[in-house]
């Protein structure tokens, strides 16, 4: 566009920013992208990918144990944390290189340094100013920790992915998906794991049956879960780190990992001065087209705090570019987006929780199954799977599907297509399952769970 250095200037080279910039470049737009750390962002370098690699590495512990039930004699085995971290780092370096090549292949100019918005059409990076017809903010989020005495002794998920040695005792503060995933990784690797949460159950915001089933399975693995507990200070002693709670109890560990939330990464971006509205949580306020209160500035991904998932950020970024550079006005539907928690066991979920469905639709029917997976019969493992369907009683439409158990993420991805298409329970029932699989349970559940009032009366 005439008069500007670039048609699009993207701040933040994570999944959303890279996807948007590449697509804009493919449409012939002149694009620049600025990144203060490494190209790849949270998902590729500090989140989804490295964490999933650690999950895979840790799960071999179960595989070795289960093998005996199937006739295998597994000899002496040992685990080397440093080898796993080194292998993970090599893969991240590879992906970092791929992302750079994808950007340069799309003729996107990569600018190293922290960018700051100067005005609706100007960005400054390390003292250099660039003008752009449109600016896209895709700076993601960053782990947040409370300011309590001794908090400098604690780490976040960023540092947990790069620990030099594997601790013997870990305290995890927080009960969200990051806490659950790291608890599973550490416990499988033989670490003594304690979780402290302010509420009664893990995974606030998830379906209640998921939260209950997950807590039971994690406890059966030896993970100590302390509900209604708040850490007030952390002291370093000769024996380790001592976490003190509001109730006066103390626990000594080798590492304290805080997983108490992430904050939109909007600090020192110059947004307020440029006229971009930011809410109390620090998130950029946008409309359904991801446009901010300044017409030439857009924002996508975790920095908007709408639905903080990598595929959503990618979809939002591409939608902005379709609208701006391909004459194809596009918005993203944030409903019925499937998600997973790669804990032990795994969680997969799509659609409404039972509580949310009752609030928005009134009368609903609930179908629920709990069973021991076939694989666990010979291995002797006691872990059980839970599956649940939430159905609108008036229309028979399936509003939500939830699962706790092996392969939950892989199974729910397919179920999400049916939910997005508005499938009914009758259509689920008409679908013939694949036997023997756990997934077939989603199309064979026939008995409704009694209404809460009826259950209480029994």
Angular region, 305: left φ>0, alpha ψ -120 to 50, beta rest? left
45: which 2 tokens?
């370098």
CB contact at 8 A, 330 and 290: no
Cis before 437? omega within 30: no
Full DSSP string of 269-336 = S-HHHHT--B-TTSPBP--TTSB-SSTTEEE-GGGGTSS--HHHHHHHHHHHHHHHHSS-------SS
Whether 153 is catalytic: no
Tell me the C-alpha distance between 12 and 18, whole Å: 8
Give the torsion sign (CA, 264, 97, 182, 221): positive
Tell me the C-alpha distance between 155 and 147, whole Å: 13
Query: For 94-128, b where at least 16 C-beta lie within 10 A, e where not — what string?
Result: ebeeebbebbeebebbebeeebbbbbbbbbbbeee
Beta bridge partners of 209: none
Cα 420 to Cα 41, 363, 403, 423, distances in angstroms = 29, 21, 17, 8
> Cβ neighbours of residue 48 under 8 Å, at least 6 residues apart?
42, 310
Phi, psi angle pair for 101, to nearest 5°: -65, -35
Tell me the C-alpha distance between 360 and 366, whole Å: 15
Catalytic residue among 96, 121, 335, 435: 435
Give the torsion sign (CA, 194, 372, 430, 414): positive
Nearest to 16 by CA among 37, 36, 41, 51: 41
Tell me the C-alpha distance between 404 and 213, whole Å: 7
Tell me the C-alpha distance between 180 and 345, whole Å: 10
Pairing of strands 385-392, 339-341: unpaired
CB contact at 8 A, 207 and 354: yes
**Residues with catalytic function:** 435
């Amino acid at each position: 566009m005439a008069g500007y250095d670039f048609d699009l200037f993207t701040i933040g080279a994570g999944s959303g920013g890279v996807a948007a910039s590449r697509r804009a470049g493919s449409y012939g737009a002149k694009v620049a992208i600025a990144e203060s750390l490494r190209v790849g962002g949270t998902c590729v370098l500090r989140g989804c990918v490295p964490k999933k690699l650690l999950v895979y590495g840790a799960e071999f512990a179960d595989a070795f144990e289960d093998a005996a039930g199937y006739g295998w004699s597994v000899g002496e085995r040992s685990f080397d944390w440093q080898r796993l971290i080194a292998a993970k780092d090599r893969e991240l370096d590879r992906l970092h290189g791929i992302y750079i090549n994808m950007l340069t292949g799309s003729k996107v100019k990569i600018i190293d340094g922290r960018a700051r918005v100067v005005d609706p059409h100007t960005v400054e990076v390390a003292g250099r100013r660039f003008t752009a017809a449109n600016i896209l903010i895709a700076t993601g989020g960053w782990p947040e920790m409370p300011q309590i005495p001794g908090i400098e002794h604690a780490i976040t998920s960023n540092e947990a992915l790069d620990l030099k040695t594997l601790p013997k005792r870990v305290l995890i503060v927080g009960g969200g998906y990051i806490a659950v995933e790291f608890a599973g990784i550490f416990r499988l690797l033989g670490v003594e794991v304690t979780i402290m949460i302010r509420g009664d159950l893990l995974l606030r915001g998830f379906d209640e049956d998921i939260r209950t089933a997950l807590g039971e399975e994690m406890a059966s693995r030896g993970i100590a879960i302390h509900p209604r507990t708040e850490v007030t200070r952390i002291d370093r002693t000769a024996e380790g780190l001592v976490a003190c709670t509001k109730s006066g109890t103390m626990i000594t560990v080798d590492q304290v990992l805080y997983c108490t939330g992430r904050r939109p990464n909007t600090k020192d971006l110059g947004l307020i001065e440029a006229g971009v509205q930011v809410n109390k949580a620090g998130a950029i306020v946008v409309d359904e087209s991801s446009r901010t209160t300044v017409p030439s500035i857009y924002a996508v991904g975790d920095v908007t705090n709408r639905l903080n998932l990598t595929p959503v950020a990618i979809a939002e970024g591409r939608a902005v570019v379709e609208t701006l550079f391909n004459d194809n006005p596009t918005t993203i539907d944030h409903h019925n987006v499937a998600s997973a928690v790669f804990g032990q066991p795994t969680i997969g979920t799509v659609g409404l929780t039972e509580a949310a469905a009752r609030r928005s639709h009134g009368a609903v029917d609930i179908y629920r199954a709990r069973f021991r997976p076939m694989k666990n019969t010979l291995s002797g493992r006691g872990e059980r799977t839970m599956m649940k369907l939430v159905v609108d009683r008036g229309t028979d439409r399936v509003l939500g599907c939830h699962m706790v158990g092996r392969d939950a993420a892989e199974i729910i991805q397919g179920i999400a297509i049916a939910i997005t298409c508005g499938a009914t329970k009758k259509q689920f029932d008409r679908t013939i399952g694949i036997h023997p699989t756990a997934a077939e349970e989603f199309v064979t559940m026939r008995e409704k769970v009694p209404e809460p009032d009826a259950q209480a009366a029994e």
